[in-house]
Amino acid sequence: MPTRILIVGAGGREHALAWKLSAEPGVNEVFVTPGSDGIAALPRVRRLADVPPVDGPSVVAAARAIAAELVVIGPETSLAAGVADALTAAGTAVFGPSVAAARIESSKAYCHEIAAAAGVSMARAGAFQQRGPGRAFARELHEGGARVVVKADGLAAGKGVRVCDDLDEALDAVDAAVADGPIVVEERLEGPEASLIALTDGRDVLALPLARDHKRLADGDTGPNTGGMGAISPLPDLPDESIADLLARFHRPILAELARRCSPFRGALYAGLIVTDRGPVLLECNARFGDPETQAILPRLATPLGPLLLAAAKGRLAAAARSLDCVGDRLLTIPGASVAMVLASAGYPEAPRTGDPITGLDAAEATGALIFHAGTARDPDSGPARDLDAGPGAYRTAGGRVLTVVGRGVDLDDARSQASAAADLISFPGVQRRHDIGRPPLAVSAVLAGGRAGTRG
Ligand code: AMP
Ligand code: GLY
């Protein structure tokens, strides 16, 4: 049981982790670096604002200074920068993979290579550094009757993917993406998506409940791809009972292949799946907890998370899972559902505007919904003269995804109503939000058609 935990990161996912871990029995204090004012408002949570989250030696020094028994790494940028390696070398327990293992996320071409070696099903794809061969492969897919997806090979905060409708768009996407670096060109698959995140010590796995992200900016899965505009858990069309089968198809073979290559993976292995006519297929792996999936998932857990993260970090996950009575390969959940809605700033994802005053946070929280901060900051100069509604110390927008509002309920509809009612109370100029998260597909069509369902949030 870790009593002092350091979380690396500053977003909604890290706020949800701090909320969950700081409330667990035996945890005395949670620190978050760099954290945010919103995260630091939690009881027993402090921020270390001056520690850069991508600088291994600084994070090691911070972990030592606060005598952290466990460091939990949130963002992929910290993993790719070697923060977990630095902590491991310093003898600090860290939940998060090495640079070598995190390459499963930081290079989409490497993810395809591992999946192929492990016999895991992914979309047909090619990796390219030059425009000509990339275009030729897009044409080949098109001539074979497939549509095309073009991806930046490296990390792009969820925004490096163009899902194309026709060949011209695909060729344009190849030209645009290859100008910035290596790319992957893929066959476009159709079907509902699912995120399955498993805690692992490199050998054993323990899955969080299934969730679904909503990557497109606008209702009905339209508009550009984003980092994620909302999440639901559980899924109406893929029960948590399918988890054992999914772990056997995806997580276990990938972990075995990474171990075989001497880069065992310790941390959260996230499989982004699409359920096609020919069964579930892997779209991507992430080397960390998803955002906003984590905000929807953590409120559903019936067990403490800290002991499991520490056990995974120390290579003893199976024993810890047994001691918490986890049955099979899954964490225990409480009955019910969660719906997480992201409120994004004006201009997101292309050019997020910052500095807009946010109002209604207290009223939204009073509804019982959970409010997790991502791109917010307290305005040091704010005062009644500048921000009559919000008053001194008011929050302003400070990033693309600003807040995640999470509703909980007996089912998805109930959870959606709570999230929606709370989100309705929060406002800032230019706020962008989806209104179909957690709605059944029929109701989504009504939203798109501008029907009554669309006006109720
Ligand atoms: P990724 O970062 O690779 O998961 O891609 C982000 C999002 O783009 C996914 O969640 C899907 O919505 C979409 N996407 C990626 N690859 C494909 C594909 N091969 N077919 C259809 N949609 C895709
Ligand atoms: N929700 C997708 C991600 O975390 O990358």
Q: Give residue 453's pLDDT.
A: 40
CA distance 244 to 124: 25
Q: Give residue 445's pLDDT.
A: 54
Cβ of 373 less than 6 Å from ligand 1: no
Q: What is the DSSP letter of 203?
A: S
155 CA → ligand 2 middle, Å: 11
In contact, 290 and 211? CB cutoff 8 Å: yes
Lowest mean pLDDT among 129-138, 383-392, 432-441: 383-392
Scanning 2-126, the segments in alpha helix (DSSP H) are 12-22, 37-40, 56-65, 76-80, 83-89, 99-106, 108-118
Q: Is the pLDDT of residue 156 over 70?
A: yes
* Residue ranges per structural domain of the chain: 4-99, 125-187, 193-323, 337-425
Lowest mean pLDDT among 226-235, 309-318, 379-388: 379-388
Q: What is the DSSP letter of 11?
A: S
Work out the pLDDT band at 159, boundaries 50, 70, 90: low
Q: Give residue 381's pLDDT.
A: 57
Q: Is the pLDDT of residue 40 over 70?
A: yes
- Residue minimizing CA distance to atom 10 of ligand 1: 215
Q: Give residue 193's pLDDT.
A: 95
In contact, 295 and 12? CB cutoff 8 Å: yes
125-187 in CATH: which number?
Answer: 3.30.1490.20
193-323 in CATH: which number?
Answer: 3.30.470.20
Atom of ligand 2 nearest to the CA of 290: 4
Q: Give residue 42's pLDDT.
A: 95
Q: Give residue 326's pLDDT.
A: 82
| Mutational test site, ligand 2, from 225, 233, 270, max ligand atoms within 8 Å of CB | 270
Max alpha carbon distance in the chain (Å)? 63
pLDDT tens string 305-334 = 999 999 999 999 999 999 988 877 999 999
Specify whether domain 337-425 bears CATH 3.90.600.10.
yes
Q: Is the pLDDT of residue 452 over 80?
A: no
- Residue minimizing CA distance to atom 4 of ligand 2: 290
Q: Is the pLDDT of residue 455 over 70?
A: no
Counting ligands in written order, which one lies closest to the CA of residue 189? 1
Atom of ligand 2 nearest to the CA of 284: 5
Q: Give residue 14's pLDDT.
A: 98
Lowest mean pLDDT among 26-30, 186-190, 306-310, 438-442: 438-442
Candidates 234, 272, 221, 290; CA nearest to 435 is 221
Atom of ligand 1 nearest to the CA of 216: 12
Counting ligands in written order, which one lies closest to the CA of residue 156? 1
pTM for this one? Answer: 0.93
Q: Is the pLDDT of residue 427 over 60?
A: yes
Which class in CATH covers the domain with range 4-99? alpha beta
Residue 144: exposed, middle, or buried by beta-carbon count in 10 A (0-12, 13-18, 19+)?
A: exposed
Q: Give residue 383's pLDDT.
A: 44
- Residue minimizing CA distance to atom 2 of ligand 1: 158
9 CA → ligand 2 middle, Å: 14
268 CA → ligand 2 middle, Å: 12
| Mutational test site, ligand 2, from 291, 404, 437, max ligand atoms within 8 Å of CB | 291
Angle between helix axes 252-260 and 108-118 (nearest 10 degrees) is 100
Q: Is the pLDDT of residue 276 over 80?
A: yes
**pLDDT averaged over every residue in the chain:** 92
Q: Is the pLDDT of residue 391 over 90?
A: no
Q: Is the pLDDT of residue 388 over 50?
A: no
pLDDT tens string 92-121 = 999 999 999 999 999 999 999 999 999 999
196: Cα separation from own chain's centroid: 11
Structure token digits, residue 41: 């408002």
Task: Specify the higher pLDDT residue, 126 or 384.
Answer: 126
Q: Give residue 449's pLDDT.
A: 59
Q: Is the pLDDT of residue 450 over 80?
A: no
Q: Is the pLDDT of residue 151 over 60?
A: yes
- What three-state secondary structure class fits 239? coil
- Kindly report the CA angle at 16 between 108 and 24, in degrees rounded to 5? 125
Counting ligands in written order, which one lies closest to the CA of residue 227? 2
pLDDT tens string 70-96 = 999 999 999 999 999 999 999 999 999
Ligand 2 shell residues, CB under 6 Å: 158, 213, 228, 286, 290-291, 293
Q: Give residue 386's pLDDT.
A: 35
